[in-house]
Chains A and B, each alone.
Chain A
Amino acid sequence: MKLVVAIVKPFKLDEVKETLREMGVQGLTTTEVEGFGRQRGHTEVYRGAEYQVDFVPKVKVEVVCDDDQVDQIIEAIVKAARTGKIGDGKIWVTPAEQVIRIRTGEMGPDAL
């Protein structure tokens, strides 16, 4: 099993969620996160007042899936979250050693 983590633009969350749901992904977790990559922070100016924005708001999407689904999920996220502009985000995949459904105690792929 794998954990797919994607950092995407906030306004792309709905599209990502829809695409994943359509391809049968049963569950995912989202978190509001802030950070920076190549798209650095910037200075915001309003009516003469300036303040520094160090981190850019993004959404983190996490999906645990079976090994054979990984490529399909990555492809779907890329397709849904891409604008072609700076700050579209990143996806990374790590192994998930074990998954347990708390309610039933099911383990492994059964718990997905």
Chain B
Amino acid sequence: MSVRPASVARLLDELRALDRAYSAGHHGRWSAARRAELVDACLRDLLAEVGSSNGVALVAQGGYGRSELAPGSDIDLLILHPGADPDGVAALAERVLYPLWDAGLTVGHAVRTPDECLAIAAERLDAATAMLDGRHVSGDPATWPRVRDRLVAGIRRDPRGFAGRLRDDARERRERHGSVSWLLEPELKEGAGGLRDVHSLGWLSAAVADEPGLAGLVRAAVLRGAERASVEAAWEFLVRVRSALHLETGRATDRLFLDQQPSIARAMGFEDEPGLRAVDGLMRAVFEHARQVEHVRRLVFGRFLRAGSEAPEVEPTAEGVLSAFARVAREGVVMPAAELDGVEAAELPVAIAWTEEVREAFLRILREGERGVRALEAMDRIGLLVRLVPEWGPVRCRPQRDPYHRYTVDVHLLQALAAMAELLEGRDRAEPMVAEAAAAVHDRDALLLGALFHDIGKTGEGSHVPIGARMALAAFDRMGLPDGTRGLASFLVSEHLLLSDTATRRDLADDDLVLDVAARVGTPERLAALYLLTVADAAATGPAAWTPWRATLIRELVAKVQRVLERGEMGAETAERLTERADALRELLAGIEPAEVDRFLLRMPRSYFLTIPLERIVEHHPLVSAPIGAVEVRTLAGPGSRPGTYGLTVVAADRPGLLSLIAGALSLAGLSILTAQVFTTEDGAAVDLFEVEGAFEHEVREERWREFRNVLRRAIEGRLSLEHRVEEKRRRYPAPKVHTPVEVTVDNVASDFFTVVEVGAPDRIGLLFDVTRTLAELHLDVHLAKVATYAGRVIDVFYVRDELGRKVEEDPQVDEIRRALGARAVA
């Protein structure tokens, strides 16, 4: 084993000392330059030990050439030689490089003649840019400046071509590595907005300016002073994070993985703040800097490659500035430097007032979708957006750490805006129902605003939906939006999770659930708007948020709610009535614990609260509040709607055929059924309401009610054959005189949840019993029934499902229902 040369030993000591001299978070560009200096000194010593260099030069290139060596960076060396003595050069390279390799340093090297340098630079962009950063370290001093001059001259012959290659490279890197400005695990070096983008600005200056680096770009008027400052700041910051990452991991990794973030945040001095944890503070700063780099890089390349376009004068008012951005949004261009100068010179107040003109310009920007988003980003980068919408501040660069979201909150909001605009343009034909929904919403500004603000409440404190609703409303009020737009947009912010939460977590076969959603939504337009926002939100979240699985569930819910609204089963007015009645009931039931009243309100079907008079509901409460036994029957009789009729309520555990048992028992007890309404509670109790009259006498006495209860109980317990008894009773009386035909219809269109069976027949003893018995025999469960008698003719409507909860849709079964009921209902 060879003895380690003193120069290399010294280098290792000094590098180690440098690493230890500062905390991991404080190795910025100064440290990086110092590291390069130490390597320079070592290389000079090594070359001196070899002796005569024979026209050979050691050239630092790449990051080493820029004097930007992070703790784990490669040392990228070019050994430049005249070409006369290849063997001698190889021997020399070995004597310089081996001690470094033996010491564990990562040294990459290329051995080239000047002509080879230029040939490879023409062929490979990375080789060309590495050499653009080249710096003579040791050996023959004359060759490298000549190579560099020829390299630069070559680039200068076609500066746009070179800039184009740099831009394409940036695009490729973005595709491969993503963006440092929002990825939770960003690639600090190669990612868009990362260090490579900073370097590429330096390389561009070789093509456009005599002065190297960012100063050259300023001189060439493609980089503005403020932009240079922000890039310099980002450069320093990103080098610090990258160096900290190398020191923390002991490896040359450039991806900032989640595991490392806490220790790096600590090393860099970030602390937990209210609403923002230290790691989020770190990532927010990474995003903020990378975003500036990305933005400035795009502007600079845009300006250079599209030079020559006229920069319009900017009127130095909020109106003028907003109009300028609305124009670049419409034209889909990058704002020229001179115009941006004009915008920044316009000394706008810290909080910009929303005049009508400002509002119109802002809305014009939103209407441009993707291009509008570019304009909003530009407004954000110069601090204009937060002055316009202060609510934007807390969501800027805010990381989101959940399995679905990929973007920061503000990027997600902008993506949602772009996605919404795309849905409205109708370009996305793949998504069913989107075109129909878009056609149903007239106020498109409200949709765009809803998308832009839906997550504005993600401030790190508390539940984001109510907070966001308040913040959005404040912003909309400041904007002075028309009432309709303001109303729809703030509705969207408040309810943006309603569809996806309900569809994935609740039972869509529950009709009352659908009614409740319909009540909250109110109108078909709002439903369509909410569906569009749900799709746009998911599209802007990431691929995991809009799976076919989720989409199917959400569409099922939307379609069901739409039909409930179309049929008028629920709507804004009905919803209001429901709320009013619930409030009135709470007052009437004031003596009862509020939680118990709420339970009652949830257990009973919505149709019950909408159709039954309040005073009767109050009477029912004690009947249904306690759990009911399997064979228990509770009844309540009172005066009916007119003299001589009685209101009867029967509560029992629901079972197949219960309605027929009650109808039969009423018949046997000598009670005629005038009307009937059947409800089923959430937990399977039947609440059946009848309007009855005595079949034989005007006044129904207590013994008749008692008889009814006895018969029903015995029937439920199976100790009495109603079929036999009712038939016997019927034969004792003459058939009805009315001879109208029996009509049976089976309707599957009227409801998403039930098959609606309607029976029209002449009234007679035991008719309802026969009809409901037939339904029970066919295993149909009656969920809701309305029975009405008009002058000797009875119209019975039943909402039924089969025992598995399905509608009856197969023809043979529908036919069987028709035939059986038709036969049984005859006199």
Contact = CB atoms under 8 A, between A and B. Distances in A.
Interface string A39-68: 000001111110101011100000000000
Nearest to B563: A45
Contact of B440 (A11, A47, A55): A47
Contacts of A53: 552, 555-556
B504 interface: yes
Contact of A49 (B433, B507, B547): B433
B804 interface: yes
A87 B809 CA distance: 16
A44 B503 CA distance: 15
Interface string B507-548: 111000000000000001000100000000000000000011
Interface string A1-32: 00000000111001000000000000000001
A56 B553 CA distance: 9
Contacts of A51: 432-433
Contacts of B528: 47
Given A32-B547, A85-B509, A48 B555 contact: no
Interface residues of A, number: 22
Nearest to B561: A46
Interface in B543-602: 547-550, 552-553, 555-556, 558-559, 562-563
B549 A57 contact: yes
B332 interface: no
Nearest to A45: B559
Contact of B505 (A11, A32, A49, A86): A11
A55 B552 CA distance: 9
Contacts of A49: 432-433, 435-436
B514 to A, nearest CB: 13
Contacts of B505: 10-11, 14
Contacts of A46: 432-433, 436-437, 555, 558-559, 562
B805 interface: yes
B506 interface: yes
Given A9-B507, A34-B549, A83-B507, A47 B436 contact: yes
Nearest to B513: A11
A91 interface: no
A49 B549 CA distance: 20
A11 B555 contact: no
B112 interface: no
Contacts of B506: 11
A17 to B, nearest CB: 12
Given A11-B504, A46-B436, A32 B556 contact: no
Nearest to A86: B804
Interface residues of B, number: 30
Contacts of A85: 509, 804-806
Contacts of B507: 9, 11, 83
A51 B432 CA distance: 7
B630 to A, nearest CB: 16
Contacts of A55: 552
Contacts, number: 67
A84 B683 CA distance: 13
B555 A44 contact: yes
Nearest to A10: B504
A96 interface: no
A4 B505 CA distance: 23
Contacts of B504: 10-11
A10 B558 CA distance: 17
Contacts of B437: 46-47
Interface string B187-205: 0000000000000000000
Contact of A83 (B524, B553, B805): B805
A33 interface: yes
Contacts of A10: 504-505, 553
A53 to B, nearest CB: 6
Given A44-B556, A51-B432, A32 B509 contact: no
Nearest to B432: A51
B433 A86 contact: no
B78 to A, nearest CB: 46
A44 B531 CA distance: 15
A48 B439 CA distance: 12
Interface in B419-465: 432-433, 435-437, 439-440
Nearest to B804: A86
A48 B505 CA distance: 27
B549 A86 contact: no
Contacts of B804: 84-86
Nearest to B531: A46
Contacts of B559: 44-46
B508 to A, nearest CB: 8
Contacts of A47: 433, 436-437, 439-440, 524, 528, 562
Interface of B: 432-433, 435-437, 439-440, 504-509, 524, 528, 547-550, 552-553, 555-556, 558-559, 562-563, 804-806
13 contacts: A10-B505, A11-B504, A45-B563, A46-B432, A48-B436, A51-B433, A56-B552, A57-B549, A83-B507, A84-B805, A85-B804, A85-B805, A85-B806
Given A46-B433, A46-B562, A55-B552, 6 more contacts: A10-B504, A10-B553, A45-B563, A47-B524, A49-B433, A57-B553
Interface of A: 9-11, 14, 32-34, 44-49, 51, 53, 55-57, 83-86
The 9 closest A-B pairs by CB, nearest first: A85-B805, A47-B436, A86-B804, A32-B549, A51-B432, A46-B559, A46-B433, A57-B549, A49-B436
